[in-house]
Structure 1
Amino acid sequence: MTAERRIAVVTGSRAEYGLLHRLIGLLHRNPAAALQLVVTGTHLSPAHGLTVREIEEDGFPIAAKVDLELGADDAVGIAAAMGRGLAGFGAAFAQLRPDLVVVLGDRFEMLAAAEAAMLARLPIAHIHGGEASEGQIDEAIRHALTKMAHFHFVAADPYRRRVIQMGEEPARVFNVGAPGLDLLLEEEEVAPERILGTLGIEGEGPLFLVTYHPVTLEERAERDAEALTCALDAFPEARIVFTGVNADTSGYEIEAALQAYVARHPGRAALVTSLGRKRYASVLRAADAVIGNSSSGIIEAPIAGTPTVNIGPRQQGRLRAPSVIDCNAETPTIRDAIARALSGEMRSIAARKETPYGAGGASQRIHDLLLSLPLEGVLMKRFYEMGASA
């Protein structure tokens, strides 16, 4: 290439930064790319751990910060945050003038970023489109991002077909696999016992990594959190690491319930706003079970060889590895699913590390495509009619 390609990568949470980390590093080190890292969302929120510090410690230059001023987690508060995001991204993109904007997933801050890019007539590349999470508002956001995006990097062939079904040109839809697998396959190991020690967790019982987020299309966060914590009480020897709750509607209710549980179980349970990329990967590998309703249990845990207990409808519709156990958000079924995850049979299944999301290397594939795809004329999208070969 005769000039650097300016690529704006938007990151808004600790989880999605972990998925993007490898790609960000590749772009940062490539002289053919001018990385423009745009940081927003919970990264800039003290209540969510101010995880922008992790980005700074990793040595990646931040081109712009878009503060959503996250406060109330009800519909009005989130709508206000999205409005601030739209204005902030608009100003950032006007200053940075990227050639291409990269967004991942289905969060409301990604919708604000894509809207601003669309209005600025900037090409958009979307990672993890075509998936389903039927218990979430995120489902609609993800599909809206698909229709705004010009290039699509999906994690599996069924998702590629779904994006094409939505009218996207097949030549612009790429099955690259899930970039989160790179985190588990390439990230440096941190001794799990050292991590647990810093969290004040003792003992030698089974280790649970628990992440539970609101199901945003339902209003039962407090009841679901109680069902989860009551089920965990059935395993009194277990050591439990809870990770922080998303900035979604009713997130504070769930967090309060988890804080109360930790207070009742000193020495064996801890709630961490953000473990950070390396510590999270290490605890995930060491865990006897991943429990909750995070996409990490569906996508990353299987490649780590860790059984997953997936609770409720939040991830309904995603492809499943055989090591994922689904259950509803009731204490008896959660308890039984955890017991099954700890069984020898499920441990043997998980040890096979089977996954429908590829075999790693997605970040490199996305990097190469971002630098090679032609951008001229991409803004003029046409609706692709099914019937032609894809």
Structure 2
Amino acid sequence: MSRKICVVSATRAEYGLLKPLLTAIHYDVDLILQLVVTGTHLSPEFGYTLKEIQKDPYPIAKKIEILLSSDSAVGVSKSMGLAQISFAEAFDDLRPDLVLVLGDRYELLPIVLAANIAHIPVAHLSGGELTEGVMDELFRHAITKLAHLHFAAIEDYRQRIIQMGEHPSRVFTVGEAGLDNIREMTLMNKAEIEESLQCPLKSKNLIITYHPDSHDNLEAIKQSFRTILAALDTLEDTLLIFTKANSDIGGRLINELIDEYVSLNPRKSLGFTSLGQRRYLSLLQYVDAVVGNSSSGIVETPSFKLPSINIGPRQQGRIRANSTIDVECETQALTTALSTIYNEAFLATIKQTQNPYDQGGSSLKIKEIIKQFDLSNLEMKRFYDLPKH
């Protein structure tokens, strides 16, 4: 009997990372893909990215609305409650053999709770990582303890999962699945990108993606992003391509500031709720750097031998290549970093950059494990103690 794999996607970034794995599952005759779409995918405010998913060949098993029109702490908590109720009903209907999730988003915590209560084992991608500057750090580790199979990007992260009491036989080092996109996707050329953006690229071009640090209050988030905008505004003959923030607390505030800046500076800036995975990866071929605090600046840009400027503490703790410049959200530090990405000596050093997250063929490795692994005894977990020295 075919094994039913329920894959949940709640955000544009996560879906892009999952696509190679979705393809591997969908085209395996021994597996049945149950794709459940939720979160910002169903929100017009965040680009209604469901319409992009519908262009892909994967059948959508469920569309589950959980996002309230609020990014306050109360609104986020209510969304989490709605997610647990809705996914309890969905799992009762779909009855998957395995639920698969990726990352550390708050929406995933109630989803994997519902799966556990329904006695459905959970596979988790990207556990063991650290993002010490954001609340998602807590959610990631909580999801690890609620999961039964673990797919870590690098060996250091696998060891951390084992340190958390997960048995080594259930924890696999597979690389970052989303990087398979770079090999498998037909990327757009410069002319196609300019037509898609409806704007010619300039002599210098930057992608900016900045998410709120959840430890900050709204005023601090606003001040930080205004500091970044002011530093970027000093650049000459540079196209600033903004991709908007996610639905975290303070995300809407950042998006309002992006809209305001782009409306005042239409000749040198563009704003997108979502570029989509293909257009985003295609752009990485032609921009000078990625600026902000998205994980993409650490995980994906090194594969393009491209600099990234990582601002603030959000990604603190992640292992990174030497192409990443870490800076505080402070005017002089930002100005120096924006100068460094055009420094010939610095650019020469990153031509030899090796992406620590890229192991190749990650999606096929994951697919084969979830296809072959004996799921019958996965539910019963014992805490694995590290050997005593």
- TM class by smaller structure: over 0.9
Does 1:365 pair with 2:345?
no
- Unmatched 5+ residue regions in structure 1? none
Which residue in 2 is equivalent to 1:330?
Answer: 330
Which residue in 1 is equivalent to 2:94?
Answer: 96
SS at the partner of 1:229? helix
Which whole-Å CA distance do the structure 2 matches of 1:363 and 1:349 have between them? 30
Q: Deviations over 1:352-376 (max 9, x none)?
A: 2412113321111111111011101
2:40–2:67: 8 Å Cα contact kept in structure 1? no
Which residue in 1 is equivalent to 2:50?
Answer: 52
Which whole-Å CA distance do the structure 2 matches of 1:41 and 1:350 have between them? 37
Which whole-Å CA distance do the structure 2 matches of 1:234 and 1:267 have between them? 14
Which residue in 2 is equivalent to 1:247?
Answer: 247
SS at the partner of 2:186? coil
Which residue in 2 is equivalent to 1:349?
Answer: 349
Partner amino acid, structure 1, of 2:348: S
Which whole-Å CA distance do the structure 2 matches of 1:136 and 1:192 have between them? 35
Does 1:383 pair with 2:388?
no
Which whole-Å CA distance do the structure 1 matches of 2:180 and 2:327 have between them? 28
**Alignment RMSD (CA, Å):** 1.3
Partner amino acid, structure 2, of 1:271: G
Which whole-Å CA distance do the structure 2 matches of 1:281 and 1:333 have between them? 27
State the 1:388 CA deviation: 6.6
Which whole-Å CA distance do the structure 1 matches of 2:201 and 2:274 have between them? 22
2:20–2:178: 8 Å Cα contact kept in structure 1? no
Which whole-Å CA distance do the structure 2 matches of 1:203 and 1:308 have between them? 19
Which whole-Å CA distance do the structure 2 matches of 1:65 and 1:296 have between them? 26
Which whole-Å CA distance do the structure 2 matches of 1:182 and 1:349 have between them? 25
Q: TM-score, normalising length from structure 2?
A: 0.97
Q: Choose from 189, 209, 212 the match for 2:210.
A: 212
**Which shows bigger deviation, 233-242 or 340-349?**
340-349
Which whole-Å CA distance do the structure 2 matches of 1:338 and 1:332 have between them? 10
2:194–2:201: 8 Å Cα contact kept in structure 1? no
Which whole-Å CA distance do the structure 2 matches of 1:375 and 1:359 have between them? 26
Q: Deviations over 1:218-272 (max 9, x none)?
A: 2221011111101101212111111121100011111111112111221221110
Which whole-Å CA distance do the structure 1 matches of 2:112 and 2:304 have between them? 32
Which whole-Å CA distance do the structure 2 matches of 1:134 and 1:67 have between them? 29
Q: What pairs with 1:166-245 in structure 2 (closer than 5 Å)?
A: 166-202=164-200, 204-219=202-217, 220-245=220-245
2:6–2:99: 8 Å Cα contact kept in structure 1? yes
1:73–1:249: 8 Å Cα contact kept in structure 2? yes
Which whole-Å CA distance do the structure 2 matches of 1:209 and 1:385 have between them? 44
SS at the partner of 2:284? helix
Partner amino acid, structure 2, of 1:82: M
State the 1:47 CA deviation: 0.3
State the 1:203 CA deviation: 5.2
Q: What pairs with 1:46-195 in structure 2 (closer than 5 Å)?
A: 46-195=44-193
SS at the partner of 2:309? strand
Which residue in 2 is equivalent to 1:304?
Answer: 304
Which residue in 2 is equivalent to 1:14?
Answer: 12
Which whole-Å CA distance do the structure 2 matches of 1:206 and 1:70 have between them? 38
Which residue in 1 is equivalent to 2:268?
Answer: 268
2:83–2:110: 8 Å Cα contact kept in structure 1? yes
Q: Deviations over 1:142-180 (max 9, x none)?
A: 000000000000001110110000000001000000112
Which whole-Å CA distance do the structure 1 matches of 2:195 and 2:360 have between them? 31
1:289–1:338: 8 Å Cα contact kept in structure 2? no
SS at the partner of 1:168? coil
Q: Deviations over 1:273-303 (max 9, x none)?
A: 1111110110122211000000000101101
Which whole-Å CA distance do the structure 2 matches of 1:154 and 1:129 have between them? 6
Partner amino acid, structure 2, of 1:206: K
Q: Deviations over 1:279-328 (max 9, x none)?
A: 01101222110000000001011012111000000000000101000000
Aligned residues: 387
1:203–1:268: 8 Å Cα contact kept in structure 2? no
Partner amino acid, structure 2, of 1:232: L
Partner amino acid, structure 1, of 2:341: A
Which residue in 2 is equivalent to 1:43?
Answer: 41
State the 1:197 CA deviation: 4.1
Which residue in 2 is equivalent to 1:5?
Answer: 3
Which whole-Å CA distance do the structure 1 matches of 2:322 and 2:359 have between them? 16
Which whole-Å CA distance do the structure 2 matches of 1:289 and 1:53 have between them? 29
Which whole-Å CA distance do the structure 1 matches of 2:339 and 2:18 have between them? 33
State the 1:200 CA deviation: 4.1
Identity across the alignment (%)? 43
Which whole-Å CA distance do the structure 2 matches of 1:283 and 1:210 have between them? 12
